Amino acid sequence: MNTSIKSWRNIPQARLAVWTLIAGEFVVFGGLIVMYILNRLKYESWGEMAQHTNVIAGTINTLVLLTSSYFVVKAHEAAIHKNKEKVKMWIWFTIICALLFLGIKSYEYTHEIMHGFTLPGKHLLAEGKHVETMYWSFYYTMTGLHGLHVIGGALALFFVMRHATKTGKDYHRLEAAGLYWHMVDIIWIFLFPLIYLIH
């Protein structure tokens, strides 16, 4: 009798589960992105609306997320060597990047809301721009949902890192959390040109 054996096959369970989760997440965002693209093709006036987004802030955010992905890779590398201090450092860098991303995003949101581009878009509606309100609805839904994933991913990284550094085991979980973090990053790579760049 052997109760300690969790698996007869040597696939790391966490990695397999996260890949499955990522497939599921891609269908959720894929659905949203397809809906957005179809509407975008239908309504040319959305191009004008896209000009009101802050492309510079978006670009900086893209860079921040890409850099954070690099940090996660470094953290994973450190985790393979079970280097506690380095794991801690690189994960904290990643989390700081996530916070920076969220900060810049909220700056953008504030700016846009101040200009009357809100989620339901009442100002636009009052101006008779019905169709354009939908652009902002999609903008907030997509980036908002992505933002939730950023928060979720950062929390996952934090808890996995704390568990691993405190107990000195389960370092392999960092790889799984890291995979999820890359997914968050890649989704942004899709959202950024679709929302900000195409005028």
Binding site for other proteins (CB under 8 A): 1-3, 5-9, 11, 13, 16-17, 20-21, 23-32, 34-35, 39, 42-43, 119-122, 125, 130-131, 133-134, 137, 141, 145
**The dihedral of CA 61, 62, 66, 69: what is its sign?**
positive
Bin 55: left if φ > 0, else alpha if -120 < ψ < 50, else beta.
alpha
Question: Which DSSP category does 58 fall into?
Answer: H
Q: At what angle do helices 172-192 and 55-80 cross, to 10 degrees?
A: 160
Which residue, 16 or 151, is less far from other proteins as judged by CB?
16
Pairwise CA distance, residues 22 & 20, whole Å = 5
The least distance separating other proteins from the CB of residue 128, rounded to whole angstroms, comes to 11
Judge contact between 39 and 149, C-beta under 8 A. no
Give the contacts of 141 (CB within 8 A, at least 6 positions apart): 32, 119
The least distance separating other proteins from the CB of residue 117, rounded to whole angstroms, comes to 13
The least distance separating other proteins from the CB of residue 116, rounded to whole angstroms, comes to 15
Which residue, 34 or 80, is less far from other proteins as judged by CB?
34
The least distance separating other proteins from the CB of residue 185, rounded to whole angstroms, comes to 19
Which residue, 64 or 176, is less far from other proteins as judged by CB?
176
Judge contact between 154 and 76, C-beta under 8 A. no
Amino acid 172 reads H
Which residue, 14 or 89, is less far from other proteins as judged by CB?
14
Pairwise CA distance, residues 141 & 16, whole Å = 29
The least distance separating other proteins from the CB of residue 83, rounded to whole angstroms, comes to 27
The least distance separating other proteins from the CB of residue 181, rounded to whole angstroms, comes to 18
Which residue, 34 or 55, is less far from other proteins as judged by CB?
34
Pairwise CA distance, residues 38 & 31, whole Å = 11
Which residue, 68 or 112, is less far from other proteins as judged by CB?
112
